[in-house]
């Protein structure tokens, strides 16, 4: 059910959960002041309680109240990328942030989302926790309709149209002496080079490198449609459903879903989750993905999401 900005403000300030647009993906929002509403987010998504939520704020100054320590380059990163698709994990004063939101961790992730309507909302509600607005494990929602598909047509959603990026925020964590990436996202590792003077290392949560900080959510099944995805370098199959690129020809395909041009990773990021959801809407049992694309920039995020989505 589509609601107005005023309705969203009063529902959130009354302790209810609402779907909210961001430039990355839709979020399932609750006010930081209502731990019961935060519990409802975990229940609605079927999300494990040890998977923490990101705190969304309207201005960078609001973060000072929660922060135990502001790591080096925090301010430079904030002014270069906020509002925008970057989440920064920092140590927090535990008494100032409900334990349920951060899954008991002594750290929390913060982000200022981009859409004007969402920042106006945040000014009127204060900080909101928001995971992606999908059932845990499924592809993220990039339209208000996707949110209704997962949580029911009566579920309240503020409609902001299709998300600009269609891909989650890139999550950075301060790790002793440098920032590292604990979840690939809409910003590429090399995007941070001008601000940091180095390209942050990618910490894959599946590696057994316990000295590095972890992103708990990366350990779970994620982004997966019911359809089985097969990832291929070279597609020559007959009568198959293909997820591929508009500048390539798949002469024997029974159906082709287009990620856009093969030199445009932003277009592919924008389309990916909507395509994965369409497979299930149309009861397509399996699809073959054209993985013949580069190994750098935003393509890394796409590769990682497709790998996760293809692992049941």
Which distant-in-sequence residues (6+ apart) come within 8 Å of 154 by Cβ? 1
Tokens of 152: 């029911």
The Cα 278–Cα 139 span in angstroms is 11
Identify residues 246-305 at the interface with Mg ion (CB under 5 A). Answer: none
Residue 127 near ligand TXA by CB under 6 A: no
Q: What is the DSSP letter of 307?
A: H
Residue 170 near Mg ion by CB under 5 A: no
Contact with ligand TXA (CB under 6 A) among 10, 107, 162, 195: 107
Pick the closest to residue 208 from 219, 200, 222, 217 (CA basis). 219
Pick the closest to residue 48 from 224, 222, 204, 304 (CA basis). 222
Residue 215 near ligand TXA by CB under 6 A: yes
Residue 166 near ligand TXA by CB under 6 A: no
Closest approach, Cβ 310 to ligand TXA, in A, equals 19
Nearer to Mg ion, 132 or 262 (CB): 132
Contact with ligand TXA (CB under 6 A) among 87, 156, 224, 262: 87
Secondary structure of 262-296 in HEC code, one letter for each residue: CCCHHHHHHHHHHHHHHHHHCCCCEEEEECCCCCC
Residue 132 near Mg ion by CB under 5 A: yes
Q: How wide is the angle at C-alpha 81 spanned by C-alphas 223 and 296, nearest 5°?
A: 55
Nearer to Mg ion, 31 or 87 (CB): 87
Residue span binding ligand TXA (CB under 6 A) among the ranges 147-155, 214-222, 249-257, 273-281: 214-222
The Cα 12–Cα 128 span in angstroms is 9
Closest approach, Cβ 177 to Mg ion, in A, equals 29
3-state secondary structure of 1: coil
Tokens of 247: 């500048």
Nearer to ligand TXA, 15 or 216 (CB): 216
Rounded to whole angstroms, what are the CA distances from 27 to 141, 167, 203? 8, 12, 24
Residue 45 near ligand TXA by CB under 6 A: no
Element (H, E) at 247: none
Residue 57 near ligand TXA by CB under 6 A: no
Residue 142 near ligand TXA by CB under 6 A: no
Residue 73 near Mg ion by CB under 5 A: no
Closest approach, Cβ 254 to ligand TXA, in A, equals 33
Applying CB under 5 A, the residues found at the interface with Mg ion are 132
Applying CB under 6 A, the residues found at the interface with ligand TXA are 22, 24-25, 27, 51-54, 85, 87, 89, 102, 105, 107-109, 111, 130-132, 168-169, 171, 182-183, 215-218
């Amino acid at each position: 059910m589509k609601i107005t900005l005023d309705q969203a403000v009063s529902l959130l300030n009354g302790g209810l959960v609402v779907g909210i647009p961001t430039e990355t993906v839709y979020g399932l929002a609750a006010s930081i002041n209502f731990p019961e509403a935060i519990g409802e987010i975990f229940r609605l998504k079927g999300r494990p309680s040890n998977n923490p939520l990101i705190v969304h704020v309207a201005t960078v100054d609001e973060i000072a109240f929660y922060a135990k320590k502001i790591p080096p380059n925090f301010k430079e990163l904030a002014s270069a990328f906020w509002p925008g698709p970057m989440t920064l994990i920092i140590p927090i004063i535990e008494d100032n942030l409900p334990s349920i939101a951060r899954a008991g961790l002594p750290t929390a992730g913060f982000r200022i989302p981009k859409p004007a309507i969402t920042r106006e909302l945040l000014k009127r509600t204060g900080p909101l926790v928001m995971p992606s607005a999908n059932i845990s494990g499924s592809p993220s929602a990039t339209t208000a309709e996707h949110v209704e598909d997962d949580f029911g047509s009566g579920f309240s959603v503020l409609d902001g149209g299709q998300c600009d990026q269609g891909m989650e925020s890139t999550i950075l964590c301060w790790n002793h002496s440098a920032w590292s990436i604990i979840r690939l996202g809409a910003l590429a590792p090399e995007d941070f080079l001008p601000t940091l003077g180095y390209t942050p290392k990618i910490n894959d949560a599946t590696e057994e490198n316990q000295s590095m900080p972890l992103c708990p959510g990366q350990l779970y099944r994620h982004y997966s449609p019911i359809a089985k995805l097969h990832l291929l370098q070279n597609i020559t199959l007959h009568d198959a459903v293909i997820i591929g690129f508009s500048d390539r020809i798949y002469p024997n395909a029974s159906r082709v879903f287009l990620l856009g041009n093969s030199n445009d990773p932003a277009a592919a990021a924008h389309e990916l989750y909507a395509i994965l959801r369409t497979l299930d809407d149309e009861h397509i049992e399996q699809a073959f993905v054209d993985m013949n694309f580069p190994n750098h920039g935003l393509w890394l995020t796409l590769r990682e999401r497709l790998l996760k989505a293809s692992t049941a």
